[in-house]
Structure 1
Amino acid sequence: MSESTKRWGLLRHHDFRQLIVAESISHLGSQITILALPLVAVAVLHAPPFQVALLMTFQYLAFLVVGLPAGALVDRMRRRRVLVAADLGRAVLLGSIPLAWALDWLSMPQLYVVVLLSGVLTVFFDVAYQSYLPHLVREEDLVEGNAKLEAVQNVAMIGGPAVGGLLVRLVGAPIAVLLDALSFLGSALFVGRIRSVEQAAPRPERTRIGQEIMQGLRFVLANPVLRAIALSTAWLNFFSAILESMILLLLARTLGLSAGVIGLLLSLIGLGALAGALSARRVTDRFGQRRMIWVSIVVTAPFGLLLPFAREGWLLWAAMIGWAVTYFGGTVYNIAQVSLRQALTPPNLLGRMNATMRFMVWGTLPLGSLVGGVLGQYLGVRPAMLVGAIGYLFGFVPVVLSPLRRTAPAPVGEVADDLPGSEQPVRK
C-alpha cells in the first residue's frame, strides 16, 4: 500500500467522500442550531428552565415514538432515498422558524413541533446512514469509516458553536437557524451524488412490520454483548441529558455570558471529541476494540464532575476542559461500540438493529432532559448538573459485567441464523 493511500484511506473512495461531505455540511449547520435554538427560547421568548429543557425532550422524543418502526421501514427502502428525504424535510421545518419570527408568530409550541418533527426525520436519517455505511465500505474499514464520520461531527462541534455564537450576536438566533435549514439542502445534494446502487436484501416472504420490529428486538436482546452495550449507552445518555439540558442556562443565565463566549466554550468540548475521533483507530488497534468500549468511560467520566462547579475565571475554563476530556472518552466509546455492532449484524438486519439500539439508547435522552428540567426548576441548575455528572460515572457497569471483557463476540451467523430473512448477501 502506498503512503498516499495510507494517508487518505477512505477519503479516496468516491461514495464515502460524498457521504462525509454531506455530513460535514449538515453537522456544521446543526451545531449552529444547537446553540441558536435554545437562545431563541431564552433570549427571544424568555422561557423558564423547564420549558428550555423541554426542547431537548422533544428533540429526542422521536426515538421513543418511531425508533423501532423506523428500522423495519428503512430495511425495506433504499437508504440513500431515506437520507435525501430526511434532509429536505428538516430544511423545510427549520426554515419555518425564521419565517415565523419575521412575521411575529413565533412561539414555544412552534419550537416544540419543529424540534419533534425534525427529530422524527433525524431518526430515519441516523438509522439509514449507520445502515448504509457497511454497504459503502468493507467490513475491515468500518472503524476507519466511523472514525472519520465521527471526526466530521466533532470538527463541526468545534467550529459550529463559535460560528453560531458570532452569528447570534450579529444577526440574531432566528436567522442563525436559517443557516442550518440551508445546510440540509447542501447535505441532500451530496448524498444524491453517491453512485453505489443498493441491492435489496433477499426476503423469503413479506412479513408484517410488527414481525420485523420483533426480529430486531430479538437480535439485540438475544446477544449479551449488544444487550450490554445498549444498557451502558442508555445509562450514559440519561445522565448526560440531565447535565447538558442545563448547560446553556448555566452559561447564559447564571453566569451571564454572551453568545460569543458561550460558542467559544462549547467549541472546547468539540476539541476533546475531535481528539477522540482522530485517535480512536490507533487506540483501539493498540488496546483492543472491546477493551476500549469500557476503559474509555472509566478513565474520562470523572472529569465531568468539574462542570457543575463552573465559576467565572479559571474554574470555568477548567470545567469546560474537563467536559472536553469526557467527550474524548465518549467519542472513543461510540466509535468502538458502533463499529462492533455493525460487524456483528448481517446487512439485511442493520436497519432494525440500529433502530432497536437507537430506541433503547436515545430513548433515555428525553427522559433525562425532562428530569433535568424538573431538577433545575425546583433544586437549581447546579444541583441538577451534579446529579447528571455523578450518575454518568457508572455508565460502564453493564459492559464490564458482560461477556465483552472475557470472550470474543459471536460471529454474525451464530446470532442471526434463526431469524427469518437472515440470509447474508455478498458484502461489497
Structure 2
Amino acid sequence: MKAYVAVLRIADYRLLWTGLVINLLGDGATFTALAWITVERAGAGGLGVLGVCLTLPVIAGGAVIGPLLDRFSRRKLLIYDSVFRGLVVALIPLVSALGWLQMWQLYAVALLYGLLKIIPLAGTPAVIPELVPEGELQAAFGLEATAMGAANVAGPAIGALLITLIGSENVLLLDAVTYLAFAFLISRISAPLNRPPRVENSGSKRAAGWQPVFDMIVHDKFLLLLTLSFASFNISVGALLVALPWLAKFEFASGPGVLGLLLAVFAAAELVGSLVAGAWKTSERQMLRIGQLQIISGGLLLLLVAKNLPVILLGLLLTGILSAPMTVMGGVVRMTRTPIEMRGRAMTLMRSTMAGMLPVGAAIAGILLSGNHYTELVVVMTVLAAAPGFFTLLTFRNLPFRLGVSADADRRPATVEP
C-alpha cells in the first residue's frame, strides 16, 4: 500500500483520481437509470437500441476526438466535455418534469454520451505521466484501473438503490452534478496539461492526423503486441459477457440474481487484481510478466467448461484477479513508449481497437450458443485469451522494457562518443 499512499500524496494526481472515481460512479448509476427508464417505456427492444447508442459511437468518436487530444489543451477538453455532458444528462429530468420526455430524447443523450466518452477514456491516462514521476506510474495506473473496477461493481448498485429512493430521473440529475464536480477538480490541478509540444524530427515533421500514430504502433513491438494481444483477449471477454446470461438462464434456470452474482465476482476479482498490480514495481521483465499472466488467466477460462456454478465462480475469480494486472502494467508500457505529443491519439487508437473487439466476441458467442455449442465456445475463448501470451514471451525473452525509453528513442541511431 506504500506505493498507493505515495502517489496519492501528489496533489494533482489526487485531484484527477478523486474526480475520476466520482465521475465513474455517476456513470454506473446513470446507465442503470437510463436502462430502467427505457425498459419501462420501450421494453426489451428499447434496451437493445439504448445499448447500441451507448457503445457504437465510442468507436466513431475516437476517430474524430483522438487528434483533438494532441492539438488542444487537455485540461480544457476534459473540462468542456464534462460540463457539456453534465448539462445534456440534466436535460432528461428537466423534460420529464415538464411532461415532455420521449424515447428519442433518451437515445440522443446516450448517443452523445457514447460519442464523447473517449475524451476521459483516453485523455485521463494520457495526462497521468505529466502528474507523477516515472517510478510511480505503475501505482498511478493501478489506481486508475481500481477506480474503473470499483465503478463497475458499485455504480450500478448505487443507481439501483437511488432509483428506489428518489426515482430514475433524479438519479440522472445527481450524475449531472458529478460531471460538474469532475470539471471543478480538473480545474484545480496546478500542472498545465496544455497542448502537447510539437516535435520536429530530423528531416520529417510530426504530422497531425492518424498516419504517424498508426506507423509508430505498427513499427514498435511493444505497442503492436500489446494492442493485438489485448484485443484478442477482449474477444474472449465479449463472448464471456454473452455466455454468462446464457448460463444463468438455460443451465442454472435462474433469474437475474445468479447473473448478478457471476458479473459481480468477475468485476470484484478485477478490482483486487488491479490493486495488487499497482503496488508492484515496474520491471525490465514487464512484457514477460504480461505474457505469463495472459497465458495463465486465459487458460483458467477452461474451468467454465464445467457447467457447475461453484467451479464457474472460481474460474471467473481467478481469471479476473490474474488478468487485471495486464491492464495496469500495459498502461505503463504504452505511456512510456508513446511520445508525449502523440499520447492522445495513440491511447484513443489503442483503446478503441481493444474495445472494438468486445462486440466481435459477443457475435461469436451468439452464433455458437444458438447451436448449443457451449463447450466449443469455451475452447475458442481460452485459445483467443491465452495464445497471444506465448507470442509475447517469445518476442520479449531477450528484449527488456525500460522506463524513459520511447518508441522514437529506441529507433534513433545511437551516437558514438568521440
Q: Could you say whether these structures have the same fold, taking a TM-score greater than 0.5 normalized by the shorter chain as the test?
A: yes
Tell me what 2:198 maps to.
203
1:308-332 Cα deviation digits (max 9, x unpaired): 987xxxx556544532432222311
Unaligned runs of 5+ in 1: 420-428
- Contact 2:336-2:406 at 8 Å conserved across structures: no
Cα distance in 1, alignment partners of residues 375 and 55 from structure 2: 19
Name the CA shift for 1:20/1:75 in 2 (closer, same or farther; >3 Å): same
Q: Deviations over 1:28-68 (max 9, x none)?
A: 122223444444444552114xx645544443323431324
Structure-2 residue corresponding to 1:275: 272
Task: Please list the CA deviations of residues 105-136 of structure 1 after superposition, one character each: whole Å capped at 9, or x if unmatched.
Answer: 342x5444333321221112222111111111
Which residues of 2 match residues 123-138 of structure 1 at below 5 A?
123-138=118-133
Q: 1:22 aligns with which of 19, 24, 27?
A: 19
User: Per-residue deviation at 1:230?
Assistant: 0.8
Q: Which moved more, 1:170-179 or 1:230-239?
A: 170-179
Q: What residue is the counterpart of 1:426 in the other structure?
A: none
- Calculate the TM-score normalised by the size of structure 2: 0.81
Task: Assess, with a 3 A threshold, how the Cα gap between structure 1 residues 69 and 273 changes in structure 2: closer, same or farther.
Answer: same
CA distance in 2, matches of 1:213, 1:8: 38
1:142: Cα distance to partner? 0.9
1:60 alignment counterpart: 55
Match of 2:86 in 1: 91
Q: Corresponding residue for 2:347?
A: 354
Check 1:393–1:96 CA distance in 2 against 1; reply closer, same or farther (3 A cut).
farther
Aligned to 1:379: 370
Match of 1:237 among 234, 251, 261: 234
Q: Take 1:106 and 1:321, find their aligned partners in 2: how far apart are those partners?
A: 43
Alignment root-mean-square deviation, CA: 3.8
Structure 1 CA distance for aligned equivalents of residues 256 and 242 of structure 2? 17
Q: Is the 8 A contact 2:301 2:316 kept in 1?
A: yes
Match of 1:423 in 2: none
2:104 aligned with 1:105: no
Q: Which residue identity is paired with 1:138?
A: P
Q: Following superposition of structure 1 onto structure 2, how do residues 34-45 of structure 1 map, counting pairs within 5 Å?
A: 34-45=31-42
Alpha-carbon contact 1:158-1:269 (below 8 Å) kept: no
Using the TM superposition, give the Cα deviation of residue 211 of structure 1 relative to its aligned residue in structure 2, in angstroms. 4.3
Q: Deviation at 1:366?
A: 4.2
The alpha-carbon distance between structure 1 residues 200 and 256, as it changes in their structure 2 partners (threshold 3 A), is closer
SS in 1 for 2:385: coil
- TM-aligned CA distance change 1:152 to 1:384, over 3 Å: same
Identity over aligned residues, as a percent? 25
Give the drift of 1:75.
0.8
Q: Distance in 2 between matches of 1:180 and 1:252?
A: 32
Separation of aligned partners in 2, 1:375 and 1:5: 47
Deviation at 1:218, TM superposition (A): 0.7
2:316 to 312, 316, 323: 323
- 1:227 paired residue among 220, 224, 229: 224
In 2: Cα distance, 1:224 partner to 1:159 partner: 37
Query: What does the per-residue CA deviation read over 1:155-208, in whole Å, with 9 as the maximum and x for residues that have no partner?
Result: 333332332333344455554444333322222221121111135433268x99
In structure 2, distance between residues paired with 1:134 and 1:141: 9
Matched residue of 1:273: which SS? Answer: helix
1:189 aligns with 2:184: yes
| Equivalent residue letter for 1:416 | D
Q: Distance in 2 between matches of 1:284 and 1:226?
A: 20
Q: TM-score, normalised by structure 1?
A: 0.79
Aligned partners of 1:199 and 1:101: how far apart in 2? 39
Q: 1:300–1:40: structure 2 CA closer, same or farther, 3 Å change rule?
A: farther
Q: Does structure 2 conserve the Cα–Cα contact (< 8 Å) formed by 1:305 and 1:386?
A: no
Name the counterpart of 1:256: 255
User: Does structure 1 conserve the Cα–Cα contact (< 8 Å) formed by 2:199 and 2:206?
Assistant: no
* Superposition deviation, residue 82 in structure 1: 1.3
Q: 1:347 to 1:165 in 2, by over 3 A?
A: same
What is the letter of the counterpart of residue 30 of structure 1? D
Aligned residue pair count? 404
Match of 2:390 in 1: 400
Cα distance in structure 1, aligned partners of 2:373 and 2:161: 30
Deviation, structure 1 residue 98 = 4.3
- In 2: Cα distance, 1:371 partner to 1:392 partner: 13
Aligned twin of 2:414 = none
Asked if the contact 1:241–1:388 (Cα under 8 Å) also holds between the matched residues in 2, the reply is: no
Compared CA separation, residues 21 and 262, structure 1 to 2 (3 A): farther
Letter in 2 for 1:65: A
Letter in 1 for 2:329: A
Q: CA deviation at 1:76?
A: 1.1
Unmatched 5+ residue regions in structure 2? Answer: 412-418
Is 1:345 the equivalent of 2:362?
no
User: 2:415: which partner in 1?
Assistant: none
Query: 2-side partners of 1:11 and 1:334: how far apart?
Result: 20
Counterpart in 2 of 1:166? 161
Residues 280-310 of structure 1 deviation map (CA, whole Å, 9 limit, x = unaligned): 0455658942122122232223454666987
Confirm whether residue 9 of structure 1 aligns to residue 9 of structure 2: no
1:336 aligns with 2:329: yes
Deviation per CA, 1:72-125: give whole Å up to 9, x if none: 211111111111122223323333444555536342x54443333212211122
Instruction: Give the whole-Å Cα distance in 1 for the aligned partners of 2:171 and 2:295.
Output: 37
2:299 and 2:386 in contact (8 A); partners too: no
